[in-house]
Amino acid sequence: MDVYEAVRTRWSVRNFTNRPVPREALERVISAAAWAPSGSNMQPWHVYVVSGASLAEIRKLAGERVAAHDPWDNPESEMYPATLKSPYSERKAAFGAQRYGALGIARGDLEARQRAASANWNFFGAPAALFCYIDRGMGPPQWADVGMYLQTVMLLLRAEGLHSCPQMAWSVYHNTVAKVLSPPDGLILYCGMSIGYQDITVPSERTGRAPLDETVKFVK
Ligand SMILES: Cc1cc2nc3c(=O)[nH]c(=O)nc-3n(C[C@H](O)[C@H](O)[C@H](O)COP(=O)(O)O)c2cc1C
């Protein structure tokens, strides 16, 4: 697959079929993604590729917590700054409006939004997932390295006919994920990622982007 096509067709899929993901495809993707760049080649990502019984266990434990209205775990990192200024707050709101509007959920219906967001804990139906940790001592440049790594994974997944949805949501249930994966001390769960084949019978729309001149300047 051409790189442009991989970028164009990568988007956050939130409806997967239960078609199993071949282990070899995941191995090819993970082997190739190891070539993602990082400052001083530190490769600060710690990755768990999960499927089968372990994925089922995480899904079950998270589902039980949701059903019990169990509060979220103490955050290990902030998902977003406490106050978002313009234009970020507007972009975030526009995303919410598009995502929940497409599901027919009214703007003020927080309960319905939460119900829709709880599909995160079911990995949106995906049969495979990845969890990505970073060492607590790492700073913003290394977090950026991890982002580059994850994007590399997501583009390579496209080359295998697979889709993905990165999920910071899992960071609020990091204790549940840790119960199954037993990561070493000192790691922070940055995000999960659902991986699988898109259920194309469910209509969905690609999220838009800000006009380029809002985010980029070509300078001569
Ligand atoms: C680091 C990261 C974490 C994300 N976490 C979630 C999440 O927890 N749940 C979710 O549904 N989408 C999540 N997303 C998907 C974003 O909402 C999505 O990337 C954005 O709206 C742009 O849409 P697109 O990926 O479909 O192009 C996350 C994306 C990134 C990059």
CB 98 within 8 A of CB 209: no
**Ligand 1, closest atom to CA 14?**
11
Q: Is 159 exposed, middle or buried (0-12, 13-18, 19+ CB in 10 A)?
A: middle
Predicted pLDDT of residue 204: 84
Say whether 14 sits in a helix, a strand or coil: coil
| Distance between Cα 104 and ligand 1 center (Å) | 19
Structure tokens at 217: 């300047």
Find the distance separating the first CA and the last CA of the chain, reported in whole Å.
Answer: 33
Q: What is the pTM of this model?
A: 0.96
Per-residue pLDDT, averaged over 41-54, amounts to: 98
* Ligand 1 lined by 120 (C-beta under 6 Å): yes
**Ligand 1, closest atom to CA 99?**
21
| Distance between Cα 100 and ligand 1 center (Å) | 14
Query: For residue range 132-189, what is the model confidence (pLDDT) as tens digits?
Result: 999 999 999 999 999 999 999 999 999 999 999 999 999 999 999 999 999 999 999 9
| Distance between Cα 217 and ligand 1 center (Å) | 25
Say whether 127 sits in a helix, a strand or coil: coil
Sign of the four-CA dihedral 45, 208, 200, 97: positive
